[in-house]
Amino acid sequence: MLITHCYVIFCPPNSLMSWFATDDVFYYFKTAQNISEGFGSTFDRIGLTNGYHPLWMLICIPIFSLAKTDPILPLRIVIAVLAFFHALSACLFYRLFKKIASNTTAIAVALFWAFFPGVHNITVQFAMESGVQAFFVILFLCMAAEWETKNGYSNREKIIGLIGLSIVAILVLFSRLDSMFMLFIFGIWFSLKSNNVRRSLFLGDMVVIVLAVFLAYYFRLGLTNSYYLLVTSGIWMAILAIALRVALNYFAGLYENKSMRNNGEILKSIIIYQTVGSFILTGLMYLLSKINVFNGFPRSALAIELVLTIVFQFLIRIFANYMEQKISLTVKTDWLQLIKNGLAYFIPLGTALLIYMTWSHFVFGTSSPVSGQIKRWWGTIYSVYGRPIDSLIQVAGLGKHGAWIFLTNGLHSLANTSNKILKNSDTDPNNTWFVLTSLLLISILIYFLSRNYKEYLKKAVKITNAFPLFVGCFFQIASYNMTGYVNSHAWYWICEMVLVVILGGITFEVLYRNLKKSLQPKQLNALFAVGLIALGMYYTYHITSTIRWKVHKEDIEGYLAGAKGLEAATEPGSVIGSTGGGVLGYFVKDRTIVNLDGLINSYQYFQMLKSGRANEYLDEIGLDYVYANKYILTSSEPYERMFRNRLKYLDTVVGSALFRYKPGVQNPD
């Protein structure tokens, strides 16, 4: 890894730019440069923005203080920093797997994380916050495993351990703010440490309740515009349902009973208490609708949700009974210890989040990053940035660019290849049946391989905290895929990728144990060596095909073509709008690049964009030019109305259209 990254770090500038696969990363770089030079948290030095995750920005600030004299040097340093975090993450994976598997498996998992291009692309090459997030997530899981398995802990030591976990959780949170879903779930998990089955049922109930609410809306409305118009009521319904139904299950004795009763008694308790919950939930939903918290909700969804909740809660208890044979919940909840655990974990984490939100509110006018708000708004208009999800396989994150892309990417590639071979033109864009069938077959194979290792699997899943991590992933995916969010990217799904690697490592250990029974040690070592050589060759090929060491003299500054072309076509001091503009903002000299999509612009601009008054903002800042794809500006929302009669086409500059902006034109009706 050291050799390959040195190869990348010292390669010619034009080749180096091939490393940075997304324009978005330069939003960080330019904003970090502006902060370091005293302009504040701004991309264009006009409006303040919080459209980023704080920890990666803090790391970038000192690095990009060097950009004023040499814009390429900070890019080389960033690669080195992310390579360092990536190497540390691999070491942490080794440490985690040493607790649950053989040394061979621990080495295999660490090397896979370090050198597999699918991991490396997301955590290093994108140069986004993902590399830092991955490191702190894995560190958090290592510390959680230590805290969960340490024997002889006094109560005081447990509390100190939880405070330490909370401090690392703060770093996870600020590396990517939507990690809050996973961190909140772990807080519940740690608080309920006294009984593993009880807390598993508790989290399982939370999952199936949200799933029941979503499916109730889906069966009633489908994934149509009507669904997304009413999705706010669905979110409220899910929150209320979790609070009500989990509490009612507790009073029904489904978490505290002395021993698990027979299935008939369990089903009877669930039906009675959850029916009562539905009456209360119905009343609350009608009340919130009357006071205009949301604009209506499908009434029949309440009945569908009740039926689904009863079925799902009953099924997870049958499954839990199967896994544990006879579940014993004789240990009463120690409420005092639960409260102590919860406070030790949530007070530092909650305080840090509150400080960030308060600071953000007073400095930027909004308590959460404007970039996330804009992407939710895009789901309500017809933009080129994407449409809300319209299939269940996408909701589950199994689509081509879904949350489980690390798991399904190969399956989609196989499906596309088979379609080409069979010349099948009528194909499902999400390869639904191919992916689901493949996952089913893989699951069956894993089941047969591991059927003699049930106790090992339970231990491995417990120590790695795979179940609460899965629940955290579920809630993160639900927050995006069930609510109309659009334009998510591969670097959003680090927790999901970590979980896949953990489960893959556990499966590898089971396979290794099976092979040990039928192969000689020399044969096993040879097989392992062949696998490592293949991985190394694949990794080396990926790096060398991405980055070319030799560049023709005339192309050595090819990465500046767009910037130089724009400089040649505009005068110094110009204010130029771009629908993206990350690379331009970083490299263009003596001009101001304004981000028009709003992801790295001010909250004020976003509000004016939503209300159809963005032209007033652009007039106020003295916009001179607009440089973007012509179709985007003239045929998609919000730009078509925003720039109607306000643009004069000048020329095509390095593949994009350059327009003169005409201020003062009244907004068309």
Question: Do residues 108 and 13 share a domain?
Answer: yes
Q: Is 669 domain-assigned?
A: no
Question: Do residues 276 and 348 share a domain?
Answer: no
Question: Do residues 463 and 537 share a domain?
Answer: no
CA 464 to chain centre: 20
107: Cβ–Cβ under 8 A, 6 or more apart, which residues? 94
Q: Is 667 domain-assigned?
A: no
Mean pLDDT for each 10-residue chunk of the chain (669 residues)?
67 75 90 96 95 95 92 91 94 95 94 92 88 96 89 78 95 96 94 79 94 95 91 95 93 67 82 94 94 90 95 88 57 75 94 96 95 91 84 88 86 79 67 85 88 88 94 95 89 94 94 87 87 88 76 62 90 93 92 94 94 91 93 89 91 91 73
Question: Do residues 219 and 258 share a domain?
Answer: yes
Question: Do residues 591 and 634 share a domain?
Answer: yes
Chosen domain end from 528, 553, 578: 553
DSSP string, 571-614: -TT-EEEESS-HHHHHH--SSEEEESSSTTS-HHHHHHHHTT-H
Q: Rounded to 5 degrees, what angle do the CA atoms 206, 344, 467 make?
A: 35
Question: Do residues 56 and 135 share a domain?
Answer: yes
Question: Do residues 276 and 392 share a domain?
Answer: no
Question: Do residues 573 and 544 share a domain?
Answer: no
pLDDT of residue 425: 61
Q: Is 330 domain-assigned?
A: no
Question: Do residues 398 and 494 share a domain?
Answer: yes
Q: Is 42 domain-assigned?
A: yes
pLDDT of residue 336: 82
Chosen domain end from 536, 553, 570: 553
Range(s) of the domain holding residue 205: 200-324
Give yes or no for a contact between 580 and 51, defined as CB atoms under 8 angstroms apart.
Answer: no
pLDDT of residue 333: 64
The amino acid at residue 258 is K
Strand partners, 259: 328
Chosen domain end from 490, 517, 544: 517
Question: Do residues 358 and 399 share a domain?
Answer: no
Task: Classify residue 585 as exposed, middle or buried by CB count within 10 Å of its CB (0-12, 13-18, 19+).
Answer: buried
Question: Do residues 67 and 164 share a domain?
Answer: no
338: Cβ–Cβ under 8 A, 6 or more apart, which residues? 191, 192, 194
Question: Do residues 79 and 3 share a domain?
Answer: yes
540: Cβ–Cβ under 8 A, 6 or more apart, which residues? 4
Give yes or no for a contact between 502 and 466, defined as CB atoms under 8 angstroms apart.
Answer: yes
How many folded domains does the chain comprise?
5
Long-range contacts formed by 222-231: CB under 8 A, 24+ apart: 223/388, 223/389, 223/390, 223/391, 223/392, 223/395, 228/379, 228/380, 228/388, 228/484, 229/295, 230/294, 230/295, 230/296, 230/297, 230/298, 231/482, 231/483, 231/484
pLDDT of residue 410: 82
Q: Is 668 domain-assigned?
A: no
Tell me the residue ranges of DSSP E strands in 476-633: 575-578, 592-595, 625-628
pLDDT of residue 4: 65
Strand partners, 649: 659
Backbone angles phi, psi at 405, to 5 degrees: -55, -35
What CA–CA distance (Å, rounded) separates 423 from 437? 20
DSSP string, 396-440: TT-STTSTTHHHHHHHHHHHHHHHHHHT--S--TT-HHHHHHHHH
Q: Is 244 domain-assigned?
A: yes
Q: Is 388 domain-assigned?
A: yes
